[in-house]
Structure 1
Amino acid sequence: MPDRSTPLRRLGFLTIGLFDPADPGPGHESTLALIELGERLGFDSAWLRHRHLQHGISSPVAVLAAASQRTRRIELGTAVTPLGWENPLRLAEDLATVDVLSGGRLNPGVSVGPPMRWDDVRAALYPDTAEAEDFSYARVLRLLRLLRGEPASTFSGTVGIEEFSDHVQPHAPGLAARLWYGAASRRSATWAGEQGLNLLTSSVVRAEGDADGEQPDRWDFAALQRAQIDAFRAAHPAGPDARVSQGLVVIPTDSASAAQREKYAAYAAGRLPRTATPQGPGRLLFAPDLVGTAAEIAEQLWGHAGFQAVDEVAFALPFTFAPDDYVQILTDIATRLGPALGWSPAASG
């Protein structure tokens, strides 16, 4: 998005889907209701985040299967599925099934690397094969080949009354082209571009120096994110037309109550210290949450180097708010912030 004359083309949202472990049903139902609301408001996409062994949605693909039957138009995505927890063949079957059920609306986002808290979960997740598991980019390529319809078996044919296929069933044409990679580093962004994938960027990047390894005195999240986007497109066969979606946390307050505005400000302030310097051994840098009126947030986004390079977004909802807060935020994004960025809601139905 080089200047303000170019409108935001696609607007989506991302949610974690919190629930009460003592009564998880209402939380899952609330997430489905939020996706339904997103469709009514004209959002182009709704995305779910994985939360394994936590009180957030652990199986987004299953939830999106349910969402596919309660919506007709809005695209449905995962941002992101950590492939370290998945068998690519079984995941390919699940993704293809949901894509068929949704009429071709699924956008799987994936990432690689060892599962979070690997030392704590390895005995349960891979009791016999932990040392042999490959958590590299090769896991993405396995999934991509299977989604494209390349062989998953050396046999196809009929045995007795049963017929067998040598590739994933059902086959979902076009699904492989809707595979996204969640990159945190320039290396990952470049690799995703070389593979012809789509790129998901978020509110987290890896703090990396310049080409000579120089570390700045003050880290600039927007500049780091822009460098990743530029590296991705430079490596992608589609060049500047390669798809990139940005996922910052935005909290418009236009229709919020006084109590909500106070809550939102406190939430952002509590998370602000982590945006100043890289965090942890992974040297992760977090973007500040954007809180304010739609006009104020739009002004900040127009000046954001990462946002200037995209024409589609999936704004992330805060993790710990109540359902009424999410309704207010989502409504303000669709009716105030989106239009301030030049976006027009999709037609219903």
Structure 2
Amino acid sequence: MALEKLGFLTIGLFDEADPRKGHESTLEVIELGERLGFDSAWVRHRHLQFGISSPVAVLAAATQRTSRIELGTAVIPLGWENPLRLAEDLATVDVLSGGRLNPGVSVGPPMHFERVKGALYPHTAGAEDFGYDRVGRLLDLVRGVPVAEAGTEGFEVFSDHVQPHSPGLGSRMWYGGGSLASARWAGEHGMNFLTSSVVKAEESEDFAGIQRSHIRAFRAAHPDGDRARVSQGLVVIPTDSATPDQRRRYEVYAEQRTPRTATPQGPARLMFAPDLVGPSAQIAERLHAHAGYQEVREVAFALPFTFEHEDYLQILTDIATNLGPALGWRRRDVDPGGASSYSG
């Protein structure tokens, strides 16, 4: 099966002493992604760390520097968010982008909740619902379900649903899941599904097999069945044009992370995907044999967390020019008049 959509994911690291430089680097990487023909660019979400804490704001900036590439979040943890306010922000950015936003979300208590709950929910921490209902609220709000009475007060007019309303956004909502329950829930509620590079070892300890079972469970529950959208996420590092120093650093990075991929980790029995490092032809061969990859038609390959800006440029260029075509992907170009075409 040929790959139809090629995307990438970045965490957007920055130096605490100079945060603007890191954010500018992320925006430059997204701009490069568009020039290389990528179909989508995704940003991670990090709170109280030195990565993007406000992906919606970063993507708002990206909408003004790009014109074609789809922009996504992978993923926004909803435990940190008020669904109504988030719905307003997402719709605003989608309008600014011309309908290119792909918001990905997840549920569960905020990371290190005991440490942050006093600042995040000083009076309601014990009453907050961090389950699937929180996603359901966001979906309703994005899709235009009324939340108040419409009317006029003096010279001011009030809507009964979130404004602005972007009609297509509801169909571009993604759920980032690593369990069978999440996969089924996302399918039942008509969302798209982001398969995680971290999954729960519920049925086996084979990462690729677990990922495949999640995808199949999602599609079995989705109204669109096999046509339901799924995007696979793995750390992929092609080395075709890498310097000897880059190859060495990439290999060391992967080797340091490999031990955690051998067995389930922690009480939640989490399985981590191995990083794929090497020439594009070799990576393509491994992906074609991957049980999870065999189920998808689109991907969002993750950039490593701690590399340099120049490393990301090399990796993205190799993905677009070598790995993508080796997977059957054909880049989409946009001519100055706005017409799109596909080229090999």
Shared fold (TM-score, shorter chain, > 0.5): yes
Helix, strand or coil for the counterpart of 2:145?
coil
Structure-2 separation of matches of 1:23 and 1:235: 46
Q: Which residue is equivalent to 1:261? A: 247
Determine whether 1:173 maps to 2:167: yes
Regions of 4+ moved over 2 Å: none
Determine whether 1:276 maps to 2:262: yes
Determine whether 1:311 maps to 2:297: yes
**Residues 12 and 44 in structure 1, CA contact (< 8 A), matched pair in contact too:** yes
Q: Deviations over 1:244-292 (max 9, x none)?
A: 0001000000000000000000000000000011112221100100000
Structure-1 separation of matches of 2:303 and 2:268: 24
Q: Deviations over 1:111-168 (max 9, x none)?
A: 0000000110000000000001000100000000001101121x21111111111100
Q: Deviations over 1:209-251 (max 9, x none)?
A: 2xxxxxx5xx210001000001111111111111000010000
- The match for 1:159 among 134, 153, 160 is 153
Q: Which residue is equivalent to 1:3? A: none
Task: Tell me how large the CA RMSD over aligned residues is.
Answer: 0.7
The correspondence of residues 297-336 of structure 1 with structure 2, limited to 5 A, is 297-336=283-322
Q: TM-score, normalised by structure 2?
A: 0.96
Q: Which residue is equivalent to 2:234? A: 248
**Residues 39 and 348 in structure 1, CA contact (< 8 A), matched pair in contact too:** no
Q: Which residue is equivalent to 2:330? A: 344
Q: Which residue is equivalent to 2:194? A: 200
Determine whether 1:52 maps to 2:31: no
Helix, strand or coil for the counterpart of 1:346?
strand
Structure-1 separation of matches of 2:28 and 2:217: 38
Determine whether 1:22 maps to 2:17: yes
The correspondence of residues 64-79 of structure 1 with structure 2, limited to 5 A, is 64-79=59-74
Structure-1 separation of matches of 2:206 and 2:95: 42
Helix, strand or coil for the counterpart of 1:46?
strand
Structure-2 separation of matches of 1:157 and 1:260: 61
Deviation at 1:348, TM superposition (A): 3.2
Helix, strand or coil for the counterpart of 2:332?
coil
Structure-2 separation of matches of 1:128 and 1:138: 20
Point out where structure 1 has 5 or more consecutive residues left out of the alignment.
1-5, 210-215
Q: Which residue is equivalent to 2:30? A: 35
Amino acid corresponding to residue 90 of structure 2 in structure 1: L
Structure-2 separation of matches of 1:281 and 1:102: 41
Structure-1 separation of matches of 2:5 and 2:295: 13
Identity %: 73
Q: Which residue is equivalent to 2:340? A: none
**Residues 40 and 348 in structure 1, CA contact (< 8 A), matched pair in contact too:** no
Helix, strand or coil for the counterpart of 1:108?
strand
Structure-2 separation of matches of 1:224 and 1:163: 51
Structure-1 separation of matches of 2:43 and 2:255: 25
Structure-2 separation of matches of 1:306 and 1:186: 14
Q: Does 258-267 or 189-198 show the bigger shift?
A: 189-198
- The match for 2:225 among 239, 244, 250 is 239
Helix, strand or coil for the counterpart of 1:347?
strand
Point out where structure 2 has 5 or more consecutive residues left out of the alignment.
336-344
The correspondence of residues 60-209 of structure 1 with structure 2, limited to 5 A, is 60-153=55-148, 155-209=149-203
Q: How many residue pairs align between the two structures?
A: 335
Structure-2 separation of matches of 1:149 and 1:120: 35
Amino acid corresponding to residue 328 of structure 1 in structure 2: Q
